[in-house]
Chain A
Amino acid sequence: MKKILGTSLFVIFLISGSYAQTDSIVFPEVDKSPMDMSYCPVNFPVLKISEKVTGSPFIRVIYGRPNKNGRAIFGDLVEYGKVWRLGANEATEIEFYKDVSVDSKKIKKGRYTLYAIPGKNDWTMILNKDTDIWGAFKYDSTNDVARVTVPVTIIDNPVETLSMTFDKFNTGFNLVIAWDTVEVKLPIVLK
């Protein structure tokens, strides 16, 4: 009898335990800096579903989009000379669906983390093998696959939210990055 009582108490404990667990699920907050993705060719998913293209895109970036919110950005919130996740939350991911070249260096298809070291006149763009990671706090240059310096263009109309898109040149596409009054372009040559 004691045994049965003990067992049933144990069962009740288990059941209530599992219910308590279900009730205590903490759902993640909606990010203040929402995530977004940009495809190259631009709007590839829309083109694919409307049957204007088939197969795979060339490139995709996934990044968090912080807002300026009245703050000074480059040289202040984002410090010059320091590795930046190029976004918010998770470090920015770039995926090449085929082999490409960046700064004449051959890059194998696959996923990479894209960091930047912003400067006043130019930025160093870094492709790094260590993917699926938060922030730039554990950035490790031994995992770099390419580093390239690109010039900064100052634009007239400030951009409130960090933005990325692609534009075409004759042998590939630029990843165009803009925030506040700064625009940079990372040229990616398609093989």
Chain B
Amino acid sequence: MNTIRPAIIAFIFLIAVSCNDSAKKEAGPPRIQIKDTSLAQGETRRNPYSPIDVSPMDMSYYPVDYTKLKMTGSIKEAPVVRVIYSRPHLQGRELFHGLLNYNEPWRLGANESTEIQLFRDLTIQHKNVIQGRYILYCIPHESTWTIVFNKNIDTWGLKPDATQDAYRFEVPVKKTDNRIEYFTMVFEKAGAGANLLMAWDNVEARLHLTFQ
């Protein structure tokens, strides 16, 4: 009996500590560091070659569904633009309560920096944007987001370095009635150009691209 009681107390203490620890992790500010997304749990995690990410990677093209259009032979010319990004999910959290903070740069994804490749020069907000590859990041504010094209490609996470910024654009933010679980970047046709639509939780922002 005498030995059991301290064991139980120690056990309860351990549980309390570990709960507290995980609560802290949930509530903390988004830290801009290298490994801030965990890997998938369970069987797939034990992969000696390349572990599976919790936030899966995805890519979007403009024209929309370019790769399928090309496969079916309904498009011949090169694509206009492609983004490659990872898709964090809410998992019960709210975007601006525990995930992102206003005025703090965000990699606009997870894991590797989000990449945008322009297959030709574009015009964005009256600026000529030279074709090539950039990383994208975002500084969210309550009613606008600053979308930054930066030249530090092939990187992980985000270490904002303004000296490598190529272009910055302010775009309005729209509140929606949706709750999008997975961060989503897609292109949509808009007039003679396209929008890069960024959506997560109940927030949407659009960066308009004009083709030359």
Contact = CB atoms under 8 A, between A and B. Distances in A.
A161 interface: yes
A133 interface: yes
Contacts, number: 106
B49 A34 contact: no
A28 B117 CA distance: 20
A165 to B, nearest CB: 5
A135 B71 contact: yes
A144 interface: no
Interface secondary structure of B, over-half rule: mixed
Contact of A30 (B43, B59, B68, B87): B87
B169 interface: no
A92 to B, nearest CB: 12
A45 B112 contact: yes
A134 interface: yes
A178 B47 CA distance: 10
In the complex, which range does the number of interface residues on chain B fall in? 35 or more
B50 A90 contact: no
Contact of B186 (A27, A39, A161, A178): A27
A58 B57 CA distance: 21
Contacts of B182: 30
B184 A138 contact: no
B67 A28 contact: no
Interface of A: 25, 27-28, 30-31, 34-39, 44-46, 48-50, 56-57, 60, 62, 65, 67, 90-91, 132-135, 137-138, 157, 159-161, 163-165, 176, 178
